[in-house]
Amino acid sequence: MSRIKIQKHKMHQSFGDNLLAVVCYILYALCAIVCIYPFYYIFINTISANDLSARGVILFWPRGVHIQNYISALRTEGLFQAAKISVMRTVLGTVGTVGASAFLGFMFTQENMWHRKLWYRLVVATMYFNAGIIPWYLTMRNLGLTNNFWGYVFPAIVSPFYIILTKTFVESIPKELQEAAQIDGAGIMKIFLRIMLPVIKPIMATIAIFSAVNQWNAFQDTLLLVTDTKLYPLQFILYQYLNQASSLSSLAKNTSSTASLAAAVATTQTATSVRMTVTIIVVLPIMLIYPIFQKYFVKGIMVGAVKG
């Protein structure tokens, strides 16, 4: 009797559990679609016939496939220059940030450094306050870092969060490693370069990914600091394309007389296709590296979680 009751109970439960599972699968499939479809939509539009994509009829699969959009994007003068700037700031900025974070994270574990705690706190405190964008902008202007490529790189070099990450990591390494080298008479730089660097590679990879993504995505510093079009990175060029397009469409909405002009611009190939092509070009590096380095991202945030 009781056995049957238990069985019934179990069956009832497993029905509820199954229902839960089904609902979960459907909901998360929807979430995945919501996250991935927009990129797919933009991509199929860039390889479809431009007159069709301008009319917005390409929804689920490409039609009239061609790669002309990408070829002409590569030939566009301003775009190529912007890509160069984006790549340069990503490479130099990442090297600077990773190098400095590794070095400082290691140095701040050296207990006999003169007033170590004070300097460490001085650096970490900058996570919790900032003077605001205008004083920052005025400082950068005084330093001659407006309209200057190095304005993208220098302010990012010392990043307290990455330093905390490295310091935590270094502290987890047995002290004997460094002590042995010290007894052998190695100087601090030698210990850092020969002994520490190989050991802290995993955390450096994490920081490299974070900082490369940040540099690639950076937009606000260009907005504040740069008016020289030669120094615009891809993100800013894309923003300009978007802005021009939206002013065109709002123009069309406001006055009927200019509507024909805006419509003419829309039908002559570009507006939509250029905008979407640039979007794909800007998003592609992230899309490509992200799945490979996902584990580093996750590791990074976990170390941060332990500390913060």
Partner 1 sequence: MKEVHFQILNGCPLLRELSILSKLSLSGQGGVSMKIFQNKKKWNSIKLFLFVLPFIALVLVFSYYPLYGWVYAFFDYKPPKPFSINDFVGLKWFKSLVENPIKINQLVQVLKNTFAMSGITLATSWLPMIFAVFMNELRFIPFRKFVQTVTTLPNFISWVLVYSVAYSLFNSTGMANTLLQSLGITTEPILFLQSSTNVWLTMWLWLTWKNLGWSAIMYIAAISGIDDEMYQAARVDGASRMQMIWYITIPSLLPTYFVLLMLSIANFLSNGMEQYYVFQNAFNKETIQVLDLYVYNTAMGSGSYSVSVAISMLKSVVSLILLFFANSMSKLIRGESFL
Which residues, 79 to 118, sit near partner 1 by CB under 8 A? 100, 103-104, 107-108, 110, 112-116
Interface residue with partner 1 among 8, 71, 80, 139 (CB under 8 A) is 139
308 near partner 1, rule: CB under 8 A:
yes
Cα separation, 227 vs 147, whole angstroms: 6
Least distance in angstroms from the C-beta of 110 to partner 1: 5
Give residue 280's Cα distance to chain centre. 15
Residue 274 CB neighbours (<10 A):
21
Q: Are 214 and 156 in contact (CB under 8 A)?
A: yes
Interface residue with partner 1 among 154, 168, 173, 270 (CB under 8 A) is 154
Near partner 1 in 24-63, by CB under 8 A = 24-25, 27-29, 31-32, 34-36, 38-39, 41-42, 45, 54-57, 59
The CA-atom distances, in angstroms, between 295 and each of 162, 256, 302 are: 17, 53, 11
Cα separation, 3 vs 13, whole angstroms: 15
Near partner 1 in 275-304, by CB under 8 A = 275-276, 279, 282-283, 286-287, 290-291, 294, 297-298, 301-302
Interface residue with partner 1 among 7, 172, 229, 246 (CB under 8 A) is 246
Cα separation, 48 vs 191, whole angstroms: 57
Cα separation, 145 vs 199, whole angstroms: 35
Interface map 117-136 toward partner 1 (x if CB under 8 A): --x--xx--x-xxxxxxxxx
Could you tell me which residues come within 8 angstroms of residue 24 by beta carbon, excluding any fewer than 6 positions away?
none
Residues for the chain: how many in total?
308
Least distance in angstroms from the C-beta of 44 to partner 1: 11
Nearer to partner 1, 1 or 306 (CB): 306
Near partner 1 in 224-243, by CB under 8 A = 224, 235-236, 238-239, 242
